[in-house]
């Protein structure tokens, strides 16, 4: 300290009052208030986006869970059946029977709308095939009243839930403005109505021109089998690797290198893992294309760094005094780790694993590269093993496929798929929280 900076000893020190804030304190308090405001604003913006996200997802996605159906009950006589079966164009004949039944019921309701078979085709597709195969399979139902519930086409569906209005409808071979009168009449007669679309949850992917028949079920199964593979590979491998690295490995240049590379792997773009999986598992090892097994292997590679990093962090968080205590009573290194350290690190490991699984569940890009695209998910696997090796898709890939299809009906299916995917993710995160609470309470 120099003399110049010292205050003259003669200057009398002014007494300060605690009741008056000095300038410095005011400044500090103002800074603190400002910081709190920023914090609250940031949280507010975050919440706002969350609300925006959820409303838009729900608004666009919920229609996917309802499906406009044409429900009609009619009796097929043996005579009609025999006549239809003797024709060259059998399904066309069944369609005529269907149209006749429809006309009768409309007349019975006092609604007089003129329509032809083409209009029916635009509204419910070609119902003849469905009706014929039903009666071929159940010949004993001929002569009794049978109720058919047929999915309406996506444009009718759109009209019913407001996506298409009379003003926006452009006449095309898919739907004419005149058809809407028929739809209205059918709705008045109680034949066209909305129903919960179970098929969306349990069904499989449909063709590009049939959004009404598309379902997520097969992809959910695909995702499930992938998660099985990921869980059973990445949990033991990841935990074993982290225990070795954290507790046993000497700290030298090699382990440092491994550590840095694990951190790097966690940041590698997922599409790189996809290419790797394609090259190694499919082209080199010869595993089947589009198989959830391969998807699971690729996602295991992606999840491992996450699990290793979180497991190592929770192992490192166990106080060293516990290790000392165990070694002090003569436990071996392994006993101290497995009896004392690992149980204490368990909540962290489980949380890390489930978060890793949730990440893997939402991963799309690598799946597209190994052929697990949405349109592959046309049927359920027949056996458990088939679940691993049969071509299938996964939820996010299915959503991606739907989102890229031209028919606007698929647009709401994609959003609906997102709702289901989010439900799975929220459930998994809830399980993580529960497990964490439960294990922590035990200690």
Partner 1 sequence: MNDMRIMERKVDTKEVKIAAKDVQVYYGDNHAIKDVSVEIEDKTVTAFIGPSGCGKSTFLRCINRMNDTIDICRVTGDIMIDGEDIYNPKVDPVQLRAKVGMVFQKPNPFPKSIYDNVAYGPKIHGLAKNKADLDNIVENSLRRGAIWDEVKDRLHAPGTGLSGGQQQRLCIARAIATEPEVLLMDEPCSALDPIATAQVEELIDDLRKSYSVVIVTHSMQQAARVSQKTAFFHLGHLVEYGETTTIFTNPVDPRTESYITGRIG
Q: Name the residues that contact partner 1, by CB under 8 A.
A: 250-251, 319, 321-332, 335, 339-340, 344, 443
Task: Give the phi and the psi of residue 195 in degrees, each rounded to 5.
Answer: -140, 155
**Shortest Cβ 287–partner 1 spacing (Å):** 42
24 or 442: CB nearest partner 1: 442
Buried b (16+ CB within 10 A) or exposed e, 13-27: eeeeeeeeeeeeeee
**Shortest Cβ 441–partner 1 spacing (Å):** 11
**Shortest Cβ 318–partner 1 spacing (Å):** 10
State how far the Cα of 391 lies from the Cα of 223, in Å rounded to an integer: 12
332 or 427: CB nearest partner 1: 332
State how far the Cα of 244 lies from the Cα of 238, in Å rounded to an integer: 10
Instruction: Write out the E strands in 141-222.
Output: 145-151, 192-196
CA distances from 112 to 15, 106, 159, 406 (A): 99, 7, 21, 35
**Shortest Cβ 339–partner 1 spacing (Å):** 7
247 or 363: CB nearest partner 1: 247
190 or 319: CB nearest partner 1: 319
CA distances from 298 to 106, 270, 272, 361, 370 (A): 56, 9, 10, 12, 9
118 or 437: CB nearest partner 1: 437
355 or 435: CB nearest partner 1: 435
**Shortest Cβ 252–partner 1 spacing (Å):** 9
Written as six digits, the tokens of 60 are: 């666009």
The DSSP-derived string for 255-292 is: HHHHHHHHHHHHTS-HHHHHHHHIIIIIIIS-PPTT-H
State how far the Cα of 231 lies from the Cα of 249, in Å rounded to an integer: 25
**Shortest Cβ 259–partner 1 spacing (Å):** 15
């Amino acid at each position: 300290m120099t003399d110049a900076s010292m205050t003259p000893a003669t200057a009398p020190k002014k007494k300060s009052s605690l009741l008056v804030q000095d300038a410095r304190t005011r400044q500090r308090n103002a800074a603190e208030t400002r910081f709190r405001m920023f914090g609250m604003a940031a949280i507010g913006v975050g919440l706002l986006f969350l609300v925006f996200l959820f409303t838009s997802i729900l608004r666009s996605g919920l229609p996917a869970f309802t499906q406009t159906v044409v429900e009609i009950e009619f009796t097929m006589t043996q005579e009609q059946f025999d006549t239809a079966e003797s024709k060259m164009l059998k399904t066309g004949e069944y369609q005529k029977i269907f149209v006749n039944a429809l006309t009768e019921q409309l007349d019975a309701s006092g609604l007089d709308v003129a329509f032809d078979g083409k209009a029916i085709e635009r509204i419910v597709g070609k119902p003849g095939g469905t009706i014929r195969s039903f009666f071929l399979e159940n010949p004993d139902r001929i002569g009794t009243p049978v109720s058919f519930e047929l999915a309406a086409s996506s444009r009718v569906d759109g009209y019913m839930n407001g996506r298409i209005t009379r003003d926006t409808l452009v006449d095309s071979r898919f739907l004419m403005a005149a058809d809407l009168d028929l739809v209205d009449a059918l709705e008045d007669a109680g034949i066209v109505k909305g129903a919960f679309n179970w098929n969306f949850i349990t069904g499989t992917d449909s063709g590009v021109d049939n959004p009404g028949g598309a379902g997520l079920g097969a992809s959910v199964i695909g995702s499930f089998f992938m998660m099985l593979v990921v869980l059973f590979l990445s949990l033991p491998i990841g935990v074993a690797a982290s225990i070795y690295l954290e507790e046993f490995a000497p700290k030298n240049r090699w382990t440092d290198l491994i550590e840095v590379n694990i951190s790097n792997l966690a940041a590698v773009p997922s599409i790189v893992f996809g290419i790797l999986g394609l090259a190694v598992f499919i082209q080199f090892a010869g595993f089947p294309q589009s198989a959830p097994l391969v998807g699971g292997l690729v996602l295991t590679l992606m999840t491992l760094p996450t699990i290793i990093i979180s497991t190592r962090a929770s192992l490192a968080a166990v106080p060293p005094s516990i290790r000392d205590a165990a070694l002090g009573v003569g436990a071996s290194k392994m006993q101290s780790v497995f009896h004392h350290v690992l149980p204490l690190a368990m909540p962290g490991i489980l949380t890390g694993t489930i978060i890793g699984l949730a990440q893997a569940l939402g991963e799309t890009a690598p799946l597209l590269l190994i052929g697990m695209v949405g349109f592959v998910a046309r049927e359920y696997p027949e056996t458990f093993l088939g679940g691993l090796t049969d071509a299938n898709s996964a939820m996010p890939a299915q959503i991606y496929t739907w989102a890229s299809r031209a028919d606007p009906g698929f647009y709401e299916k994609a959003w609906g798929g997102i709702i289901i995917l989010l439900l799975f993710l929220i459930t998994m995160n809830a399980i993580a929280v529960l497990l964490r609470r439960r294990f922590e309470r035990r200690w």
